[in-house]
Structure 1
Amino acid sequence: MSTAQETSAYAPAHTPRLNWTEHAPDVYKAMARLDAAARQGLDPKLCELVKIRASQLNHCAFCLDMHTKDALAAGESMERIIQLSAWEESRHFYTEKELAAIELTEAVTVLTDGFVPDEVYEKAAKHFEEVELTRLIAAITVINAWNRFAVTTRMVPGNYRPGQHG
């Protein structure tokens, strides 16, 4: 029988392989600048949905932690964040524009599934002006790069607080 005084401890965090931001600060700073440039003119909540979805597909726990917290801080609902992993069955939670962005995110993130299909690209092009679409593609590309750094170096999730990054 458990009591209110008992606490359950989480398993210990894994150890990161290396601190890539310390060993290649110029690369990190260039990535941060590219990230900021890609986001210009895009709805911040849409950006966070895209970052969360790519991070789910890439199994990047560090970026999921960061972008879920950033999305909540930007006013995104917990419900829409939770449903994002099953967006195809939860389409009614998202606008057509958001769905086009999410679908494009999946196609760009999982290129091994047959590149970016014309119909996926055309759907996104219908909802985004060319400049905005270019920024969206850049934002998707950048989060995939961040995911690869974080997963490869085994960055530890859980300690991020909104506003900690550029």
Structure 2
Amino acid sequence: MTTIDTSDSQGAHMSGQRMNLAKLAPEVYQAMVALDRAASRGVDPVLAELIKIRSSLLNHCAFCLDMHTRDARKGGETEERIYLLSAWEEAGPVFTEKEQAALALTEAVTVITDGFVPDEVYARAAKHFEEAELAQVIALILTINSWNRIAVTTRMQPTLGR
């Protein structure tokens, strides 16, 4: 595998991709693909991409941001809404109440610094989703967080449309 040497804005040395998990742990990778497929089942594709992008923003996952912003565009998402995901709470009616509830849940699960998902965040999501759909949304959030951690740890590189 070829590695690419780069430096970040503080001059810290970073290298390219560390390993190819799909090649080195194929059973784990295939299990993740199956989990992703199962978690996405029944979730509105537009909402699924918003969740994936927001989690990837929070986890600083360039690879997943590249992939899911392109997927969102292909699915008809607007540039404006993609740009505003980093400030969705301030964006007013740009995102529906249901989308806002899902984004709040995404943040609570992704950044679990207090050690729990607050009751009010869960209740807000439960108000907008049937129980089975909420279970799928939670599974989707867990799955994208796992993908983010795989990509960040192995330093998967964005393809930038290649």
Give the TM-score of the pair, scaled to structure 1.
0.87
Q: In the TM superposition, what is the alpha-carbon distance from 1:112 to its structure 2 partner?
A: 1.2
Residue 3 (structure 2) aligns with? none
Q: Describe how 1:95-106 pairs up with structure 2 within 5 A.
A: 95-106=96-107
Where structure 1 has 5 or more consecutive residues not aligned to the other structure, the ranges are 1-10, 162-166
Asked which structure has the greater CA Rg, the reply is 1
111-120 vs 82-91, which moves further: 111-120
Q: 1: distance between equivalents of 2:92 and 2:114?
A: 22
1:12-161 superposed matches below 5 A: 14-159=15-160
Matched AA of 2:16: T
Q: Which runs of 4+ in 1 moved over 4 A?
A: 11-14
- Tell me how far apart the structure 2 counterparts of residues 102 and 160 of structure 1 sit (CA, whole Å): 26
Offset at residue 115 of structure 1 (A): 1.5
Secondary structure at the residue paired with 2:90?
A: coil
What is the letter of the counterpart of residue 91 of structure 2?
Answer: S
State the superposition RMSD in angstroms: 1.6
- Describe the superposition over 1:27-65 as per-residue Cα deviations: whole angstroms up to 9, x where unpaired: 111001000101111100100000000000000000000
SS of aligned partner of 2:113: helix
Gaps of 5+ in 2: 1-5, 8-13
* Distance in 1 separating the partners of 2:33 and 2:161: 16
Alpha-carbon separation, structure 2, partners of 1:63 and 1:75:
18
TM-score (norm. length: structure 2): 0.89
Aligned length: 151
Asked if the contact 1:107/1:113 (under 8 Å) is kept, the reply is no
